[in-house]
Amino acid sequence: MHVPDGFIDAPTSAVTGFVAAGALAVSLRGARRELDERTAPLAGLVAAFVFAVQMLNFPVAAGTSGHLLGGALAAILVGPFTGVLCVSVVLLMQGILFADGGLTALGVNITDMAIVTTVVSYAVFRGLVKVLPRRRRSVTVASFTAALVSVPAAAVAFTLIYAVGGTTDVAIGKVATAMIGVHVLIGVGEAAITALTVGAVIAVRPDLVYGARGLQQRLKLRVNGDLVDAQAPETPAPAAARASRRTLWIGGLVTSLVLAGFVSFYASAAPDGLEKVAHDQGIDTKEQRHASSGSPLADYGVRNVSDARLSGGLAGVIGVGATVVAGSTVFWVVRRRRTAAGTSESSASSASRAA
């Protein structure tokens, strides 16, 4: 659903740019509360994983494909504020390095693919986990539903933005019907990927899943006819916990590299939902040449590498590497600012007590 340059007029693009900038500023502050020494490294990995899986277009209808948007997955794994930042980092890397998603439309894409999907999906997710039984399977079910809803929600958001600032004279009713219809199907794929990924992480380290915090029920045992709390399992030693996190991080990075560097070659070559609708409805008649079309990685291939498999694989590996570095840097800075703020508050509190 990457919106290229030329679909949306300049004033509307500017407004969405301000909206996106404001949301990112809020998210940077909110992420300080979500990130800690355990989850900050995971956030950079989540961004890289979203980048990798977005390269895997899957067929959804005749001549149409879809790919992960990632807002629901990121929000559930690392928190809604951090999730907005994760998807935004991915969109920035794609726009600058791979000429995917217009640079003048970056505000539109962040608003639609990062903010709308994250806010909608996490609201649905939190609502469901409050009413479902407090167990791990409920988190997976809620993840599936939240991701399913988030994709057509993004389609609705694009339609509204296009209704305000579209550059072609197309009946909005037709755009809405086509966009929502195809993205409901894409949402099924998004939901499956999100539920499988969240379920896999919960199976290994449930404490690292932001959306699952506080949902584990204390095990009950029946003793002499009465239910009593079972003894809590021992907390893993810090060294063991760090080793487990390191193993998860390395495994996730290797998976991302394999998906982007190898599996992506077998992805569907059909246009995605927005591209298909834009072509069928005449929205793409005003599409402009991408400012980064001369990038050596444009269109997810390495310039001067003639072998298509090798070219696409190298581009995918480079993209995963660039995204994990950029994302990890952002979240490291956010984490450091949280630590610095906590130290300042502690010093001020100590000084106040001493006085």
* pLDDT higher than 90, residue 39: no
pLDDT band at 352 (very low <50, low <70, confident <90, very high): low
Within a domain: 308: yes
C-alpha pair distances (Å), 91 with each of 106, 203, 267, 319:
8, 29, 19, 11
pLDDT band at 214 (very low <50, low <70, confident <90, very high): confident
Within a domain: 355: no
Within a domain: 167: yes
- Listed in sequence order, the residues at least 6 apart from 318 whose beta carbon sits closer than 8 Å to its beta carbon are 97, 297, 302
Within a domain: 229: no
186 or 245: which carries more pLDDT confidence?
A: 186
Q: What is the pLDDT of residues 81-129, one digit of tens each?
A: 999 999 999 999 999 999 999 999 999 999 999 999 999 999 999 999 9
Q: Residues 273, 275, 280, CA angle at the centre, nearest 5°?
A: 95
**Interatomic CA distance for residues 326 and 98, integer angstroms:** 15
Tokens of 29: 């502050």
Residue 230 DSSP class: P
Among candidate residues 145, 147, 151, the one with its CA nearest the CA of residue 179: 151
Q: Residues 315, 321, 322, CA angle at the centre, nearest 5°?
A: 85
Q: What is the pLDDT of residues 305-344, one digit of tens each?
A: 999 999 999 999 999 999 999 999 999 999 887 666 555 5
* pLDDT higher than 50, residue 271: yes
pLDDT, position 242: 75
Q: What is the pLDDT of residues 41-50, one digit of tens each?
A: 899 999 999 9
Within a domain: 244: no
Q: What is the pLDDT of residues 107-118, one digit of tens each?
A: 999 999 999 999
Q: What is the pLDDT of residues 156-199, one digit of tens each?
A: 999 999 999 999 999 999 999 999 999 999 999 999 999 999 99
207 or 229: which carries more pLDDT confidence?
A: 207
248 or 148: which carries more pLDDT confidence?
A: 148
Asked whether the beta carbons of 66 and 185 are under 8 A apart, the reply is yes
* pLDDT higher than 50, residue 219: no
C-alpha pair distances (Å), 49 with each of 36, 129, 298:
20, 25, 20
* pLDDT higher than 90, residue 207: no
Within a domain: 237: no
Within a domain: 158: yes
* CATH code assigned at 40: 1.10.1760.20
216 or 23: which carries more pLDDT confidence?
A: 23
Within a domain: 5: no
Q: How many domains does the chain have?
A: 1
For residue 91, the enclosing domain spans: 10-216+267-340
